[in-house]
């Protein structure tokens, strides 16, 4: 049976970043690593990385924020430039923490945040690990069924536990049984926070300009981004197409690609032991 290190005790704080509150949990000593979570309903930093924090904290100072719009952070994301909004907030968080540079690890929405931050200010990023990041080739094909399920969560008849369970078990992971009911229960409770329902942080772009801006493969800076990057992509990802990994590897000068068999969109959760090993080694420059 696969086992996972239990979460260590974590120091929690609510920091002011440009007038907004960002919740942060951290633990461990060493080079700073920010873990940026995905954008699914009810997501938060610690819950998304529950199988990784303990292992990474053996070598790194692990900093786990709730992205704007999620968890205990201030709600609302700028729909005209959501990736830029997230990147600005995390850059401001680095400033508040007194960090000139840090490693960034980002899954899905958090991966898009990390990539945008690196494109805008590459001097603030040491190394990046991206897992099925958003914003890769999104203008080159129609949205996947998994992404449609995600984007439709708050529309129609509104959020429900059944809707969330279908998204997680059908589209988020390869093996539906890998996700405990408790994870879905907790995420559903967070997803129906009245502030979140009033301003969902992940929505369909409302303008062509926003659509174009949210596709990194349309950004000429991508081919000049020298930040060493490891892309991990589940071969069975039903939310963001695995072909996105090959797009990034083909454009970024220092990008390694690892496609993970029998794995969906949640690599760090579904294949935690593999992820923890690859991530720790890559950030340390051992691969």
Pairing type for strands 61-65 and 125-131 reads unpaired
**Cβ(114)–Cβ(130) under 8 Å?**
yes
User: SS3 helix, strand, coil % of the chain, rounded to 5?
Assistant: 40, 15, 45
Name the catalytic one among 37, 85, 103, 265: 265
| Per-residue exposure over 88-101, b if at least 16 CB sit within 10 Å of its own CB, e if not | bbbbbbbeebeeee
Pairing type for strands 11-17 and 20-27 reads antiparallel
- Pick from 184, 166, 210, 192: nearest CA to 78: 210
Q: For residue 37, indicate whether it is catalytic.
A: no
Q: List active site positions.
A: 265
């Amino acid at each position: 049976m696969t086992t996972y290190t239990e979460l260590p005790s974590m120091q929690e704080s609510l920091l002011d970043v440009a007038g907004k509150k960002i919740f942060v949990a951290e633990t461990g000593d060493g080079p700073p690593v920010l873990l940026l979570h995905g954008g699914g309903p009810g997501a938060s930093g610690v819950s998304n990385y529950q199988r990784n924090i303990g292992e990474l904290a053996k070598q790194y100072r692990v900093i786990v924020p709730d992205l704007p719009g999620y968890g205990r952070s201030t709600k609302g994301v700028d729909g005209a430039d959501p990736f830029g909004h997230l990147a600005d907030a995390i850059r401001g968080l680095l400033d508040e923490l007194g960090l000139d540079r840090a490693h960034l690890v980002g899954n899905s929405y958090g991966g898009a945040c990390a990539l945008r931050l690196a494109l805008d200010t590459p001097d603030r990023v040491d190394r990046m690990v991206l897992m099925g990041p958003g914003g890769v080739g999104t203008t080159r094909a129609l949205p996947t069924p998994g992404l449609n399920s995600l984007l439709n969560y708050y529309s129609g008849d509104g959020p429900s536990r059944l809707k969330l369970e279908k998204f997680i078990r059908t589209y988020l992971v390869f093996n539906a049984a890998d996700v405990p009911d408790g994870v879905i229960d907790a995420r559903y409770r967070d997803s129906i926070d009245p502030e979140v329902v009033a301003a969902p942080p992940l929505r369909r772009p409302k303008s062509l300009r926003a659509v174009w801006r949210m596709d990194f493969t349309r950004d000429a800076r991508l081919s000049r981004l020298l930040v060493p990057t490891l892309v991990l992509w589940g071969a069975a990802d039903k939310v963001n197409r695995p072909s996105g990994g090959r797009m990034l590897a083909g454009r970024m000068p220092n990008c390694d690609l690892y496609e993970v068999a029998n794995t969906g969109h949640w690599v760090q959760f579904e294949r935690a032991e593999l992820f923890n090993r690859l991530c720790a080694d890559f950030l340390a420059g051992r691969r």
